[in-house]
């Protein structure tokens, strides 16, 4: 593995507030209806129990059925551990009333010897979906990826999650070189977008 990839990922993972440090928040901060959205940033290990339960409840509401029908299945404990992993970082979207309405979790990782920003979960509350919030968060992640020296942003999406596939494609993502082929029989795609 090129030493630089490991070094870059380690360095980026140690940053406490990278979006603030690099001032790379998305320039868009209003929904399609004109409501101002703000963002909080936290390491997973610094989320308090109430915040974490909100994170998990939204994951469950949006994704449980999709996981139940997937080849991976739905394993609550392993998902909880994943979301709370020490390398997991959160961007949390807050509406004008101060209510949390969505989150993106990401990690800096070395994937096939390349330093990448992995969009691990992107979950928007049902009443705020399709209002541009996910797009703002993904844009922030792309800008952060560039500042942190990562080569690309990656995401894994179930093949039957059409809204999410549509969302990532609209934002310029396409099949990653490591994406399983159509005849693999696997039920997910690995998408990516190169960092400029």
**For binding to ligand COA (CB under 6 A), which residues are involved?**
62, 122-124, 129-135, 157, 161-164, 166-167, 170
Residue placing its CB nearer to ligand COA in the complex, 102 or 115: 102
Please state, in angstroms and rounded to a whole number, the distance separating the CA atoms of residues 171 and 176: 14
Q: At what angle do helices 49-68 and 76-83 cross, to 10 degrees?
A: 130
Residue placing its CB nearer to ligand COA in the complex, 35 or 149: 35
Please state, in angstroms and rounded to a whole number, the distance separating the CA atoms of residues 17 and 23: 10
Residue placing its CB nearer to ligand COA in the complex, 5 or 117: 117
Minimum Å gap between C-beta 155 and ligand COA is 6
Residue placing its CB nearer to ligand COA in the complex, 62 or 117: 62
Edge to edge, the sheet with strand 114-124 lists: 38-43, 89-94, 100-111, 114-124, 152-158, 188-194, 174-175
Minimum Å gap between C-beta 123 and ligand COA is 5
Please state, in angstroms and rounded to a whole number, the distance separating the CA atoms of residues 45 and 84: 6
């Amino acid at each position: 593995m090129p030493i630089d990839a490991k070094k870059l990922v380690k360095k980026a993972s140690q940053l406490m507030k990278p979006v603030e440090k690099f001032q790379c928040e998305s320039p868009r901060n209003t929904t399609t209806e004109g409501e101002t959205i703000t963002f909080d940033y936290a390491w997973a290990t610094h989320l308090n129990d109430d915040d974490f339960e909100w994170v998990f409840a939204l994951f469950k509401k949006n994704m449980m059925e999709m996981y139940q029908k997937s080849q991976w299945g739905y394993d609550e404990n392993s998902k909880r551990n994943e979301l709370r992993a020490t390398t997991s970082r959160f961007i949390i979207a807050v509406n004008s009333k101060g209510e949390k309405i969505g989150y993106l979790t990401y990690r800096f990782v070395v994937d096939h010897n390349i330093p990448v920003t992995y969009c691990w979960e992107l979950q928007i509350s049902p009443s705020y979906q399709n209002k541009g919030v996910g797009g703002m968060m993904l844009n922030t992640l792309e800008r952060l990826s560039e500042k942190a020296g990562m080569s690309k942003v990656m995401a894994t999406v179930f093949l039957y999650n059409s809204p999410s596939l549509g969302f990532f494609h609209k934002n310029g993502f396409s099949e990653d070189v490591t994406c399983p082929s159509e005849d693999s029989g696997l039920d997910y795609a690995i998408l990516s977008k190169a960092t400029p």
